[in-house]
Structure 1
Amino acid sequence: MTQFSPVAPARAHDFSLSEAHEGLASLGAWRDYPRVQQPTWPDEDARARVFSQLRGAPPLVFAGEVDVLRSKLAAAATGDAFLLQGGDCAETFADSTADRIRNKIRTILQMSAVLTYGASVPVVKMGRMAGQFAKPRSADEETRDGLTLPTYRGDAVNDFGFTEAARVPDPERLLRMYNTSASTLNLLRAFTGGGFADLRQVHAWNRGFTAGPGYDRYEELAAQIDKAIRFMDAIGADFDELTVVDFYSSHEALLLDYEEALARVDSRSGEIYGCSGHFLWIGERTRQLDGAHVDFMAKLRNPIGVKLGPNASVDDALRLLDRLDPEREPGRLTFITRMGASRIRESLPALVEGVRDAGAQVTWVTDPMHGNTITSSNGYKTRRFEDILDEVVGFFEVHQAAGTVPGGLHMELTGDDVTEVLGGSGHIDEAGLERRYETLVDPRLNHQQSLELAFLVAEMLSRR
């Protein structure tokens, strides 16, 4: 099983069972706030029944794991670590198979090896996994051939099939989301704690993938790591730290019924933890200061992320700080910027400088995916790899100019050889999108593109 270091509770607190129930009950106040991006469940009795079942289910993650992650994100905020967060735009039940989960983990491990070896920095490994089954949408309805139906909001809410029955929100899907997340976490822990993540497997991680320039460069790095490990072995070094890794789960805390049902009171401290995932974030569409999501997340002990788009103001950032991190606790708050390559150098500096000048230390992370979405001439929702790379470069440039720390990378990626993003050394063109376009929502980097990006980030980090 994945190893976690013991961490003392945030503060000693003698609390009663009644206090614990009161704390959990307070989470339900989000229903009194303006709420967006929430499904309209057609049967309230069914929703309440599912909520009760989830409330009685075992937590998916534990308070001690969350506390360790918070300390690691604090290190990323100061440049003593780097966050690598990646996974599907939206997980699906059908694709939550052992092979696909393994390929995503393997891709993140490979990217981590590139970053750690190339930049000499510890990497915090986190998947958009075991909970990313819902997505905010720009419209409540979708029309095809004259038929208008509710929008697909992810497998946690309804089905992708374009029929009236498929698009009805079904709270029973929240139970399937929980069970699929539990099995994903089981497999994740088995892989990362059972030898699969052993750094001595660095060559084996590349097996089964299509050959290409990104893989050739990775094999060269793997050979260097092998040489270093053989040297360590020759001098009798302890390899325990190479055999297992900490690997954390994250998702957008979008469906508040689900998040509330999986909140738990820590028996050590009386604090409330969101036990659906280690790291939870608020999206660009749901970060309203007077909204339900901010109210709910402010009450959790987890490290919290907030997505900030190009129109976010310094006042927005500072007021979010006051609501979500009033004590300015290291590792508590992560700002995930999603500006777009054409706007990052214009929009990000004021935010970074405003937070810096306010004396706050957050973990700054770039999401170079969501601000660079386009539609190809043959009708595919896609992104250009060159734009993704340019936004990452711009992110590092802004932080270098401001004297602040670029703390992490947040990616939509898959471990499979899909063709969803244009460009890269595989030279995917618009016709190539038709070969293997599999995403139901947003386009993802494939395995080779992910490795290419990791080498670029390693170079940027080494100059930091």
Structure 2
Amino acid sequence: MTQTDLEAAGVDSFLSCEAKQQPIWPDADALRRATDRLREVPPLVFAGEADVLREQLAAAGRGEAFVLQGGDCAEIFSDATADRIRNKIKTILQMAVVLTYGASTPIIKIGRMAGQYAKPRSSNDETRDGVTLPAYRGDIVNSSAFTLESRTPDPQRLLDAYHVSAATLNLIRAFTTGGFADLRSVHSWNQGFAANPAYAKYERTASEIDRAVRFMAAAGGDFDALKTVELFSSHEALLLDYERALTRIDSRSGLAYDCSAHFLWIGERTRDLDGAHVEFMSKIHNPIGVKLGPTTKPADALALAARLNPDNIPGRLTFVARMGADNVREVLPSLVEAVRDAGVVVTWMSDPMHGNTFTSESGYKTRKFDTILDEVAGFFEVHRAAGTVPGGIHVELTGDDVTEVMGGTEEIDDEGLARRYETKVDPRLNHQQSLEMAFKVSELLSQR
């Protein structure tokens, strides 16, 4: 692959567009050295893997599968440990088992992992006690510590993000293909956790799955397919210096793929039709998503589809609705109906997290678990009324027992948030709340 190849594919057309939410790099030479190196490193994922995911997303759009996408709001380099990665994978797989068994539906598993290091901010700066410094834009740009040295954008972090992503993907592949994810072991995954109603309910389901698997084994079934799972990687394609540097031309097809992840999405703040993010994503051939917030008009959705998927290829484009529970039943129907009536092929997903954030009385940025579930329920209601397909959910979660979202079986209240509030940006569902959500969605899927 050469720079000429990528130029011929039109990948650099985004450079003439306005790029929002980009850091102000103080050292242009250091940035050039970092991106030049990234252009030379091996890809993190391969075009063929992205193509497989596109076909699976197409199936979800037809109602033949369901997407479970989950992971951190913003990954932290120091959190990329074997234990934390394992716990996150374990949570996603446990949720997937609940969904699969409860709804008899194949589950497409996508992690917000191995690349979710950049975050949009409402301001370029942050002021504390009269001191103003650059805003924290994620570990790929700067550090969260409130010092000038930590907050100054550092291009070396682009390379750090690549290496941490590579290590994370290596562990993901080891865990998902090395026996850890064997369905026959699912009944043991919850051992060691404290007893409570949510876990007891999962344990009953796990026992039922275990009995079914044992019966099939006794009957001579072939279980090779149950020993491994596919877990795809994803992140918001926010930092264009990084995404462009990891774009490659596929030797089979001659098409451009962003090899930083299998699935990439455009956020609510960067989905301008004439902006650099939409332009860049229109030139790559990964399956991609767009977040649609409550200000989205039907014409916006149709215009984005025309720009990003002009050939109407199934599985290419996913719309991720992040309306807020108060808006989903009022705003989403017109978007779904317009897309349906225009014959536009998309896979619809619900992000019930980002539209439901508020600050608690004690000052913590949080969400209410019941409100999150209500938005998911509203998402399903809208699609049921329109005769369309609710194709998946997109949630911020962790495999650790944090206390960042209020409610759930643990009944985390405002005072309880202080026990283990660890996120650097947005609050995440903990392990137990994630399983509770899986049971709720499983019930909704059975009614789909």
Both structures adopt the same fold (TM-score exceeding 0.5) = yes
2:211 aligned partner, one-letter code:
K
Asked if 2 retains the 8 angstrom alpha-carbon contact of 1:37 and 1:136, the reply is: yes
Which of 247, 251, 263 does residue 247 from structure 2 map onto?
A: 263
1:196 aligned partner, one-letter code:
F
Asked if 2 retains the 8 angstrom alpha-carbon contact of 1:386 and 1:423, the reply is: yes
Task: Write the distance in 2 (CA, Å) between the matches of 1:17 and 1:424.
Answer: 52
Task: Write the distance in 1 (CA, Å) between the matches of 2:304 and 2:86.
Answer: 36
Asked if 1 retains the 8 angstrom alpha-carbon contact of 2:25 and 2:154, the reply is: yes
Task: Write the distance in 2 (CA, Å) between the matches of 1:209 and 1:442.
Answer: 26
Tell me whether 1:427 sits opposite 2:436 in the alignment. Answer: no
Alignment of 1:324-403 (within 5 A): 324-403=308-387
Which of 220, 223, 242 does residue 226 from structure 2 map onto?
A: 242
Task: Write the distance in 2 (CA, Å) between the matches of 1:280 and 1:18.
Answer: 22
Task: Write the distance in 1 (CA, Å) between the matches of 2:35 and 2:233.
Answer: 22
2:75 aligned partner, one-letter code:
E
| Cα root mean square deviation, aligned | 1.1
1:230 aligned partner, one-letter code:
R
- Please give the secondary structure, in 1, of the residue aligned with 2:167: helix
Task: Write the distance in 2 (CA, Å) between the matches of 1:386 and 1:451.
Answer: 14
Asked if 2 retains the 8 angstrom alpha-carbon contact of 1:23 and 1:272, the reply is: no
Task: Write the distance in 2 (CA, Å) between the matches of 1:298 and 1:147.
Answer: 40
Unaligned runs of 5+ in 2: none
Tell me whether 1:120 sits opposite 2:104 in the alignment. Answer: yes
Paired residue for 1:110?
94
Task: Write the distance in 2 (CA, Å) between the matches of 1:134 and 1:207.
Answer: 35
1:283 aligned partner, one-letter code:
G
- Please give the secondary structure, in 2, of the residue aligned with 1:206: coil
1:41 aligned partner, one-letter code:
W
Paired residue for 2:292?
308
Asked if 1 retains the 8 angstrom alpha-carbon contact of 2:6 and 2:248, the reply is: no
Tell me whether 1:218 sits opposite 2:212 in the alignment. Answer: no
Task: Write the distance in 2 (CA, Å) between the matches of 1:283 and 1:57.
Answer: 27
Task: Write the distance in 2 (CA, Å) between the matches of 1:203 and 1:134.
Answer: 36
Unaligned runs of 5+ in 1: 1-15
Task: Write the distance in 2 (CA, Å) between the matches of 1:23 and 1:53.
Answer: 21
Paired residue for 2:120?
136
Query: Once the 2 structures are TM-superposed, how far is the Cα of residue 209 of structure 1 from its aligned partner?
Result: 3.4
Identity %: 67
Tell me whether 1:463 sits opposite 2:447 in the alignment. Answer: yes
Query: Once the 2 structures are TM-superposed, how far is the Cα of residue 18 of structure 1 from its aligned partner?
Result: 8.0
How many residues get paired? 448
Asked if 2 retains the 8 angstrom alpha-carbon contact of 1:212 and 1:448, the reply is: no
Task: Write the distance in 2 (CA, Å) between the matches of 1:92 and 1:141.
Answer: 20
1:255 aligned partner, one-letter code:
L
Task: Write the distance in 1 (CA, Å) between the matches of 2:429 and 2:231.
Answer: 20
2:383 aligned partner, one-letter code:
H
- Please give the secondary structure, in 2, of the residue aligned with 1:57: coil
Paired residue for 2:302?
318
Asked if 2 retains the 8 angstrom alpha-carbon contact of 1:210 and 1:417, the reply is: no
Alignment of 1:168-247 (within 5 A): 168-247=152-231
Task: Write the distance in 2 (CA, Å) between the matches of 1:165 and 1:298.
Answer: 36
1:83 aligned partner, one-letter code:
V
Asked if 1 retains the 8 angstrom alpha-carbon contact of 2:397 and 2:431, the reply is: yes
- Please give the secondary structure, in 1, of the residue aligned with 2:136: coil
Task: Write the distance in 2 (CA, Å) between the matches of 1:184 and 1:23.
Answer: 32
Alignment of 1:270-285 (within 5 A): 270-285=254-269
Paired residue for 1:405?
389
- Please give the secondary structure, in 1, of the residue aligned with 2:63: coil
Which of 109, 121, 129 does residue 145 from structure 1 map onto?
A: 129
Query: Once the 2 structures are TM-superposed, how far is the Cα of residue 27 of structure 1 from its aligned partner?
Result: 2.0
Q: 1:18 to 1:96 in 2, by over 3 A?
A: closer
Task: Write the distance in 1 (CA, Å) between the matches of 2:8 and 2:417.
Answer: 49
- Please give the secondary structure, in 2, of the residue aligned with 1:91: coil
Paired residue for 2:20?
36
Query: Once the 2 structures are TM-superposed, how far is the Cα of residue 30 of structure 1 from its aligned partner?
Result: 1.6
Paired residue for 2:39?
55
Paired residue for 2:5?
20
Task: Write the distance in 2 (CA, Å) between the matches of 1:27 and 1:301.
Answer: 11
1:418 aligned partner, one-letter code:
V
- Please give the secondary structure, in 2, of the residue aligned with 1:276: coil
Instruction: Tell me the TM-score normalized by structure 1.
Output: 0.95
Query: Once the 2 structures are TM-superposed, how far is the Cα of residue 280 of structure 1 from its aligned partner?
Result: 0.2
Query: Once the 2 structures are TM-superposed, how far is the Cα of residue 203 of structure 1 from its aligned partner?
Result: 1.9
